[in-house]
Each structure stands twice: as C-alpha cells, then as structure tokens.
Amino acid sequence: MFSFFVSFLSCALLTLLVIKFARKNGMALDGDFGGVQKVHTHAVARIGGIPIFLAVIVASGISVLRQPALAPWLMTLIACGAIALSGGIVEDYTGKVSPGRRLLLTMVAAGLGYWLLDARVVRLDFPWGVLVLQAPWLVLPLTLLAVAGIANAVNIIDGFNGLASVVCIFMLLSLAYVALQVGDMFVLVAALIVAGAAAGFLIWNYPVGLIFLGDGGAYFLGFLLGELALLLVMRNPDVSTWYAALLLIYPAFETVFSAYRRMFVRGKSPAMPDGIHLHSLIFRRIVQWTVGPREARALMKRNARTSPYLWLFSLTAVIPATVFWKNTGVLMFFCLLFIISYLWLYGRIVRFKSPRWLFLSKKD
C-alpha cells in the first residue's frame, strides 16, 4: 500500500499543477460544447494523462529503491505505456490524430510488451482443459488485439467525470488482490501504483470536472490495465484466463457492441462517435429526471450522477471475477450473465422502457 499512497499523493499534486498551468497558458482545453459526446459547459484541460504518467514514474522510482528487483519490469512497462500515451497526448493538444493512428501506436506498445515483458496470450482455459497457443502467427496478433482493444475500450467509456478512472481503479485493485494471492509481486506493486495515480487524478476530476482524462490518459490507463491483466494470467497458471475476460468485460463489450451497432445497425464507420453508448443513454434518459433541464449547473449535476450507475454496473463483473478468479466454469457463466444483462438493460433504455428502480426521486 506504500506504492499506492505515494502514487496517489504525487498525482494529486501534479494534477493540480497541470490544471493551473493549462488554465494560465490556455493549452489543451476542451472548449467544444456541441459534440455528440460533450456534456460540459466550460473549457476544461484534457491532459490528465500527463500527471498520471509522471506519478507512475515517481512512485515506480521509489518502489524500485525499496525492491530493486522490480526495476527492469517497471521501467519496461512504463516505456511501453509511454508509446500508448503519446498518440493520445498529441490528439489532446492538436485534435489531429486519427483513432486508427492512436490504435496503431497502442499496438506497437503491445508488440514491445510481447517481446520485452513476454506479455502474450499463450493459453485459453476451459472447464474441460487448457488450449495451448504456440504459433507466433496466432499469438502475436491475438496479443496485440487484446491489449490495444482494452486501451481503446477505456477511451470509449471515458464519457463522464470519474467514469473511466473509477472503473479502472476497481479493476486494478482486483488485479492487486489476485496478484497477492498468487505471490506475483510485480503485478501487485504495478497495479497499486497505477490505481493510486488514477485515484489522485480522480479527486480533481470528480464530481466537478476540473480536468479530463483525455485520450492520452485513457489510452495509458487502458494499456497498463490490459498488460497487467495479461501478465497476471499468463505468469500464473492458477489464475483462469476467464478472470481477465470477466474483469475487463464492461469496457470490452461496450466497444464490441458499439462497433456492431455503428456498422450493422446504423451503417456507419465503427470509428464514428455517437451519443448512444450505454452511459450516454443513462445520462439522457435516466439521470435527466433526477436533476432537470440542460442548464449549466444542472448539467454538471447530471454528469456527476451518471457515473455511479456505471460504477455499480461494472462491479457486477469485477466482484465475481475477484471472488472466483480460479474457477473457469463460474467465470464463464458470469461473462454470459453480464452480456445478457447489458443487452437487456440497453434495450429497455433505448426503447424508453427503463426499469423503475433506475430512477431516483427528482431533486432540484
């Protein structure tokens, strides 16, 4: 926990400095209030990835002083993560980096992790046995797709204050817990460092949104989350591969479903942004009734009240994954249950038939 608190304090301070610097210099401010996914009413710095990255470096350096054996692992992980971060940060500053290029950079980072950290998908667990994957032509693309996909998925769910960062904290703490159970010191320390940095950022992001995670922060957190989940599972055969699948299923399935919906239902590019993600629907069709019209103060309250719905929803996957981390059959069942629940809930909300228990009493 020392690593967590060092990272938390470092990121809290660094984020405050970045907020003041961005406001003073007018840099990387998100002043687009009319986009389909925009739910803020004042210009906000969208470079939260920078203080998170710097805090991870600081906390890793201190952790290495206490545990020198972690040095090559942590430094290599951070170096790979910096590549995933870079495309998002340039996009945050310029708005000119396409989603394809950002995804490509994340794949390059995952490729380096494949070679330098041995982070690769080499097995799939089933109740009746283990499917071993050995052919590089299969293992490499599967690894790149898995890690880059999770990084992109975290970016997709980053739509409201505190949403992506809290979901990532839940998942990282689960990784730390399971790593503790199997004695994987590297994943344990790395997961706590990244969780601490995300928590330090969160105090300035939620509820009022003084800074946004941005593409850089989302890709960086998503990449580290994907790498650590992959390393934990593949380095420790006792941990079922379906643990990682269930742990990450909320952002992963949100991405897959969004791509399907855009391509086959709406006939558009899967990279085209829209405003009908699950979190967007909850914002517009559930939380609206608890706060009121689209005014600046009400909009901020609606933004803040949207994320807890998705925090709780993500826990329906994170909690069983953490409890049943070695039971493949049970983990597969909960994966299926989550998918069914997601589709049922999405279908009800999109058809204006939202379950009554989703609504809170209306407040001024």
Residues 254-286 pLDDT 10s: 999 988 887 767 667 666 666 678 888 888 777
pLDDT at 4 over 80: yes
pLDDT of residue 320: 98
C-alpha to C-alpha distance for 23 and 211, rounded to whole angstroms: 10
Q: What pLDDT, on the 0 to 100 scale, is given for residue 334?
A: 97
Q: What is the pLDDT of residue 152?
A: 93
CB 302 within 8 A of CB 287: yes
pLDDT at 281: 84
pLDDT of residue 227: 97
What is the reported pLDDT for 285?
A: 75
Q: Does the pLDDT of residue 193 top 90, yes or no?
A: yes
- Name which of 156, 161, 155 is nearest 305 in CA terms: 161
Smallest Cα–Cα separation from 313: which of 341, 283, 332? Answer: 341
Of the listed ranges 19-23, 63-67, 189-193, 358-362, the least confidently predicted one is: 358-362
CB neighbourhood size of 244 (10 A) = 29
Residue 314 burial by CB count (10 A; 0-12/13-18/19+): exposed, middle or buried?
A: buried
Mean pLDDT, rounded, for 79-88: 94
Q: How confident is the model at residue 238 (pLDDT cuts 50, 70, 90)?
A: very high
Note the Cα 195 to chain centre separation in Å: 11
Q: What is the pLDDT of residues 170-183, one digit of tens each?
A: 999 999 999 999 99
pLDDT of residue 361: 44
pLDDT in the model for residue 295: 55
Average pLDDT, the chain: 87
pLDDT at 267: 67
Mean pLDDT over 76-92 rounds to 93
- pLDDT at residue 42, as a whole number: 61
pLDDT band at 364 (very low <50, low <70, confident <90, very high): very low
Please give the share of the chain, as a percent, with pLDDT higher than 70.
Answer: 87
| 308 pLDDT above the threshold of 80 | yes
pLDDT of residue 55: 96
Query: How many alpha carbons lie under 13 Å from residue 265 in its C-beta half-sphere?
Result: 8
Interval 41-67 mean pLDDT: 89
Which has the higher per-residue pLDDT, 28 or 13?
13
Place of tokens 């470096």: 57
**Which residues are CB-contacts of 44 (< 8 A; sequence separation ≥ 6)?**
29, 30, 209, 210, 211, 212
Q: What is the pLDDT of residue 224?
A: 97
**pLDDT score, position 273:** 64
Neighbours of 47 (CB within 10 A): 28
Q: What is the pLDDT of residue 159?
A: 80
Between 270 and 289, the more confident residue is 270
Instruction: Tell me the percentage of the chain whose pLDDT exceeds 90.
Output: 63
Q: Which of 30-44, 282-296, 312-326, 338-352 has the lowest mean pLDDT?
A: 30-44
Closest CA to 41 of 228, 220, 302, 325: 302
Cβ atoms of 206 and 304 closer than 8 Å:
yes
Q: According to the model, what pLDDT value does residue 243 have? A: 98
pLDDT given at position 269: 64
Residue 353 confidence (pLDDT): 78
Q: Domain boundaries in the chain?
A: 2-358
Per-residue pLDDT at 98: 85
3-class SS of residue 131: strand
State yes or no: pLDDT of 87 exceeds 50.
Answer: yes
The pLDDT, as a whole number, for residue 33 is 43
